[in-house]
Structures are given as C-alpha cells and as structure tokens.
Structure 1
Amino acid sequence: MGFSITDMLNKDTSMAAAPVKEHTIERISYSKLVPSEDNFYSMQEIEELKTAIELAGRVLNNLVVTPLEDGKYKILSGHRRHRAVGMLLDEGKTEYEFLPCSVEQIEDADRAVREPMLLIAANSQRVKTAWDKLEEVRRMRDLQRQAKAERGLNGRVRDLVARSLNISSSRVAKYDSILNNLIPSLMEEIKADNLPISTAYELSKLNTEQQQATFTCFVQTGKLPTGDDVFQSNTPDTTAQPEVSAPQSESTPATPQTDNVFPSNTLPGDAARLVQQLTCLPDNKLPRLAKLLGTSTAQLTADLNALNNLY
C-alpha cells in the first residue's frame, strides 16, 4: 500500500509526531544536488550565509535531500546553503564542494505527497518571512483537504492545518483571509517583504476598490499604511460626484457648503491618518477641495506634498 498523507501525521495531525523514515547522513557533491522546483521559501541574505560558512570552514547543518533516478539528489531543505556554497565554488574555493546531507528514501508511489510534507517539516525551524508563512498555510491546506478526501478525517481543514503547523486556528483564519481576499498587487508586496502580515490582514477586509486605492497610493507615495493607518469605513470615496450648487443672491454672503471629499467619520484628531487620507485623494477631488479652501489646485498639491513629508 502506498504512502498516505496521514501517515505523516498522528491522530491529532501534528507534524511533530511524524514517524521517522529510513535516512542516512552522506557528504554529497554540490553538482549532484538539485533544488526542488516546489521550494517556496525565501532566498534572502545569501551573502551573509556565505560569509558564515567560510568563517566556520564548512556547512554546519545538514541539508535534507532525496535520491533521484539519475543519481542526483533533490534538495528538500537547505536551498540557501546550497546557493551559498555555489558562490564559494564560483570563487574557486573547491574545499566546500561536498555538503553534509540527510538522505530521505521516498518511494515513487509516495513522492507526490511525501515530498511537499517533508519540504514543510524540514523547514519548520527556519526564520520565515510573511510570504513563507502564507505559503505554508496555503500548501498545508491543500494537503489536508487531500487527507480529508482520502481518509475522511474529522474536523475543519482550518483546525487540521493549525495542528499540523503548530499554530492557532485563529492565525490560520487570518492567513486564509489574506490568501482568499487580498488583491494580487498587494500579495506581490508581501512577497517583496514590503507588507507585514498584520497590515495585510486589515487590508484583506477591505473591498477590491479600496485595496486598489491603497495600492495606488503606495505607488504614488512609496508608502503603505500600517497599523491604525489602515482605515476602512473612512476610506475616501473615489467615485466622482456631481457638483450641484444652490443659487445665492448677491446680497447673501457665501456660506461654506458640505462636500463629499471627506466622509463624515474622518478622524480630525489623528493627524497622521488625516494626512494619509489627504495624500491619497484622487486627482479629480483636488479642484473641489481647493475651491472649498479658497486656494489654487497647484498650491493645494504643493501643500499636500509638504504635509506628506512630515509623516
């Protein structure tokens, strides 16, 4: 009988209880190691890792690999170490050619499921970016759905994912909200490490138009809202509104008129938030606001740029 995803999990679906499979420790040539096409973990700070390996004189931690039919080995954990060693070899430092590897034996019938499980399990202790954490949940969610279909596991997929990754169900729910609702352009900002999980979660609760307005503001100003600056119900309305003015007699002094540039729940006491709203106003709102303030559009634009530089 072939390997089942649930063979990696105990009755509580915890990856920490995965059974130990046959493996050996070997020193394998860099040229025989092939990065996994399924690796989604970030490849940051390679130069720093290269320096650390050189200072230690060797790779200190084993890579996790599995044999391939052509005599090579697929890397499941250790992609950054592999790349750092490649950089050392490019510099002619051949003493780093052989890397210590834990070789995991996987039968072909099991490979499609066991490899992605080992990929996540073997990287459980690494420092992870926001993108790494989201992708872990996304992929574990797919694997757990497969497990439910295959074995009829009880419980919500969210809870199964949480126990598998040793995180809370509420955290999985937040990650699900981001994965399911955040627009692609903002997801790319997470991948680029420009958008933290907390802000991404707040943005995921906005509708598509509000998210796009936030991203447009980022493109224009180089800033994304963070923390309390992620406003929801008080996001400026970007829909053009008709301008209707009541006729006034010449003898009646002009009185300020209400306007739809700002919604009624703008928070005037929060200067940073107000500046965020002002600097994110669409261009078609500026002439109307300038008229209300008794200034020119050009002067208003200059004033908003100056305000933006204060925050």
Structure 2
Amino acid sequence: MKKQSASLIAKLLNKNSQPGQSSGKELNTTEEIIMRDVHELVPNPKNEKYSLDNIEELAMMIQLTHNIEPIILKTMEDGRFMITSGHRRRLAQLYRLEQGLIDDPMVPTITREIINDFEDAITDDEMETLNIVFPNKGQRRNLTPSQEADEIALIKPIIKKLYDYQKAAGNIDGKFRPYFANILGISETSLQRKEAIRKVSEEVKVEIDSGNITATAAAELASMDKEEQNLVIEAIKDRGEEVTVQAVKEEKKKIVVPKNDTIPVVKESPTECELEDEGQTKLFDQTRKNNTDKNISNDGVNSTDEVVPPVQKQEATDKDTAAKMWFQKEIVEKLKDAEQRFSVETADKTEEECQEWQARIKVIKDVLAYLDESHCPERCKECCDDCDRPCEHSKNFQVANTMKN
C-alpha cells in the first residue's frame, strides 16, 4: 500500500473549509448564503486567544470594496449560530456600525456542519479546533510568536491522535515530529524553536513578541530555568548588547552551574525553643545510638573504611578535637549569657518569657552534654584542665565547688 503523506492529512483537515461538503456525499458546489444580523452571531470561545488586531483596516477595506466574504457558522443546540470562521469579519462589521459608516447589521453567512472523517480517532470538538486553526492558515491573523507557540501546543495532541490512528492502519510511517512539522508546513528545526517559546519566562515572551529576541535565541534560553533566563537577558542588556544566540551562550557559561558540582545547601538554624519543641534530647540520643550501631573496631576505625596511616589519623583526630573544643567554648559562653539574662531579668519577664529562656538554657546544656560525650571519650587530663565547662570532669569546676564548700 502506498503510504499516505502528512500533506494529504492536512488537505483532509481543510475539507471543512470547502463549500458544500458533507460526510459520505459528493461535493455540492453551491451553498445557501443567508443574511443574518451580525449581533446575533455567537463568537467561538476557541478563537479568543488569537489576536484580533487591524480590525479598522479590514473595516475600511470592506467599506471601499463593498465586499464581505460569508461568515461560516455552525448550529448550536439552542438554535443560535456560532462562528467557526470569520471572527474578524464580524468585528469589522460591528466597527462599521459603531462608526456610523453603515446602518444595516446584516452580513452574509453560510451554515456548515463540522465534518469529522476521523471520528474513530478524534472527537467532533477536536475536529472543530483543527478547523479554526487550518482553514485560514494561509491568511492567518497576525499571531505573535508566543501565540503561535500556544496554537501549536493546542493542536499537537490532536494531530498525535490522528498520527497514531493512521499509523496503526498502515497509511503512514516515520516518526511523529517530521509528520507534525510537515502538516504545519515548517521544518523540524523551526518546529523545535517555536515550541521552545512556551518554556521561557513571561518576561522573555514579551521580548520575543516585541521582536527584541529571535526564536533561535529563545530556544537557547529554554534549556535554563526561568529565573536564570531573566538573569541572562538582564546581563546582556546591561552591557548594551543585542540578545543573540552567541550572547546567550556566553552568558549561560557564567550562570549555569555544572551538574557534577556540589551546591552547598544552607539551612536556617531553628531557635532554641523550636529545637526543644521538636525533641532535641531525643535527637542526641538517636545520634549516640547510630554511632553505637556502626561496625567499629576496638581502635575506633570503621572496618568498612580504608585503613588510615597512624600519622594521618592522629592529625585528623587532633584537628577534630581542637575544632570541637572551640565550638564547645562558644556554646559555654552562650550558656553563661542565657543564665545571666534569665536570672537578672526574671522579675521583669512574664511567665511565658521565663519558660522560653528556661527552654533555651536546657537546649544549650543538652548540646554541651552531647559534645562532652563525643569529642573526648578518654576525658584526658589536658582536656579537662583547659576546659571551662561546668561539669564534674572540669578542673575549674572542681576548684569552684571546693571554694563554695
């Protein structure tokens, strides 16, 4: 069987734009033209997203030529008539009436029911959508690039159904993208660029529709997230350059972080009260349990890790201990400050504020208890003598207690 090309499918989709067609019947070259009040014609909601500009120019052309093509209608369930083709002609006629150029609201119309030769594949509503897009495609209204991208996105799933149906029947072969591009009458590359416009930010779309950014540059931007897109455009404009593909590529190198790079995530530290509310003590207990569960040998080396030379191990241990002791001293200062503020200002604080400071002090002490058990398990004399911690192992603490006693 000879394969049916996508261009033939496009012709079949245009069947509804031809006069006197009806499913299963021969072509009737004559259709009844009926004059109807333009105010009674119902606009098709599927046409609302399209730009209906230059209506004044069309109205003046009709005024000069006294010629208006019939508006194509379909019958609605309530007996009214909805426009399937001729929305701009309707608006032009209304403009002529408003401007006092004419006083007769009647316009020529043709009632034509939607023909669906692919009812096994798509619905009548989907066929109607195609026949709003395709019949006037050669003389399409002035669509902006973003509107054209929306139009492509609108009909793409419908055309995909037709493609699957025709391919299953053995009428076509090949991949969908070239098939779809062929129906639209554009290249695959052009199709890719037009579809990319839907992936850019609203700010970039405005620039594209204004002619400040080409579809090629937009396609290059589409691979970035929308915030990065805006940063790229802003940076290029700040340098007074045009937004070209090359300029976008160069700016992308400065902004986009390679995927294999590690991006540090900084989390906002919760308050002491929040830590207490979330069960800070349980967190420390769980940490200790996890450390106990690890497969650790007697000398403190994880049996699953590579063996670290003694010198390197000692250096790493010394650095870790020093860092933890520094952090410990910082926490001690926080504890002293918290206890001082609590004791001095208790009389001026509400009960709720006192409870808040008590919770903070408790959390700080929990942190210190955790560090006390983690950083120096041997509790060596050097550590304890230098420690300023108020615990039973601290030399300073023992001296203070002796003085008190």
**Which amino acid counterpart does residue 181 of structure 2 have in structure 1?**
A
> Structure 1 stretches of 5 or more lacking a match?
1-9, 240-311
**Corresponding residue to 2:205 among 167, 174, 187:** 187
For the residues of structure 2 that align with 1:202 and 1:98, how far apart are their CA atoms? 50
TM-score by length of 2: 0.47
Aligned residues: 226
**Is 1:16 matched up with 2:11?**
yes
For the residues of structure 1 that align with 2:67 and 2:101, how far apart are their CA atoms? 11
For the residues of structure 1 that align with 2:246 and 2:56, how far apart are their CA atoms? 35
Deviation string 1:180-229 (CA, Å, 9 cap, x unpaired) is x32233235545676543443343244434312145569x97x9944457
**Corresponding residue to 2:154 among 139, 142, 160:** 139
For the residues of structure 2 that align with 1:230 and 1:75, how far apart are their CA atoms? 46
Q: Which residue of 2 aligns with 1:100?
A: 108
**Is the Cα contact below 8 Å between 2:72 and 2:83 reproduced in 1?**
yes
Cα deviation for residue 24 of structure 1 reads 4.6
**Corresponding residue to 2:251 among 228, 234, 251:** 234
Map 1:46-85 → 2, pairs under 5 A: 46-59=55-68, 61-85=69-93
For the residues of structure 1 that align with 2:70 and 2:219, how far apart are their CA atoms? 35
Q: Which residue of 2 aligns with 1:169?
A: 188
For the residues of structure 2 that align with 1:48 and 1:135, how far apart are their CA atoms? 26
Task: Name whichever of 95-104 and 164-173 sits farther off.
Answer: 95-104
**Is 1:159 matched up with 2:167?**
no
**Is the Cα contact below 8 Å between 1:49 and 1:81 reproduced in 2?**
yes
**Is the Cα contact below 8 Å between 1:144 and 1:157 reproduced in 2?**
no
Cα deviation for residue 233 of structure 1 reads 2.7
Cα deviation for residue 116 of structure 1 reads 0.5
**Which amino acid counterpart does residue 11 of structure 2 have in structure 1?**
A
Secondary structure at the aligned position of 1:65 is classed as strand
**Is the Cα contact below 8 Å between 1:30 and 1:97 reproduced in 2?**
yes
The structure, 1 or 2, with the larger RCO (C-alpha pairs under 8 Å, 6+ apart) is: 1
Cα deviation for residue 104 of structure 1 reads 1.9
Cα deviation for residue 120 of structure 1 reads 1.0
Cα deviation for residue 118 of structure 1 reads 0.6
Q: Which residue of 2 aligns with 1:38?
A: 46
Secondary structure at the aligned position of 1:100 is classed as strand
Cα deviation for residue 151 of structure 1 reads 5.4
For the residues of structure 1 that align with 2:147 and 2:35, how far apart are their CA atoms? 28
Cα deviation for residue 51 of structure 1 reads 1.9
Cα deviation for residue 35 of structure 1 reads 1.4
Deviation string 1:252-280 (CA, Å, 9 cap, x unpaired) is xxxxxxxxxxxxxxxxxxxxxxxxxxxxx
1:16 to 1:208, Cα distance in 2 relative to 1, 3 A = same
Deviation string 1:41-84 (CA, Å, 9 cap, x unpaired) is 2111122222222222342x333322212232222222222112
Deviation string 1:98-133 (CA, Å, 9 cap, x unpaired) is 223343213798531221111011221124432343
1:237 to 1:169, Cα distance in 2 relative to 1, 3 A = closer
1:107 to 1:171, Cα distance in 2 relative to 1, 3 A = closer
1:238 to 1:158, Cα distance in 2 relative to 1, 3 A = closer
Secondary structure at the aligned position of 1:122 is classed as coil
**Corresponding residue to 2:137 among 105, 124, 130:** 124
**Which amino acid counterpart does residue 97 of structure 2 have in structure 1?**
L
Secondary structure at the aligned position of 1:231 is classed as helix
For the residues of structure 2 that align with 1:194 and 1:70, how far apart are their CA atoms? 47
**Is the Cα contact below 8 Å between 1:76 and 1:122 reproduced in 2?**
no
Cα deviation for residue 34 of structure 1 reads 1.5
**Is the Cα contact below 8 Å between 2:74 and 2:82 reproduced in 1?**
yes
**Which amino acid counterpart does residue 4 of structure 2 have in structure 1?**
K
**Is the Cα contact below 8 Å between 2:217 and 2:248 reproduced in 1?**
no
**Is the Cα contact below 8 Å between 1:202 and 1:230 reproduced in 2?**
no
Deviation string 1:110-168 (CA, Å, 9 cap, x unpaired) is 53122111101122112443234323321221212233455555543322221222222
Q: Which residue of 2 aligns with 1:287?
A: none
**Is the Cα contact below 8 Å between 1:206 and 1:232 reproduced in 2?**
no
For the residues of structure 2 that align with 1:144 and 1:151, how far apart are their CA atoms? 10
Secondary structure at the aligned position of 1:101 is classed as strand
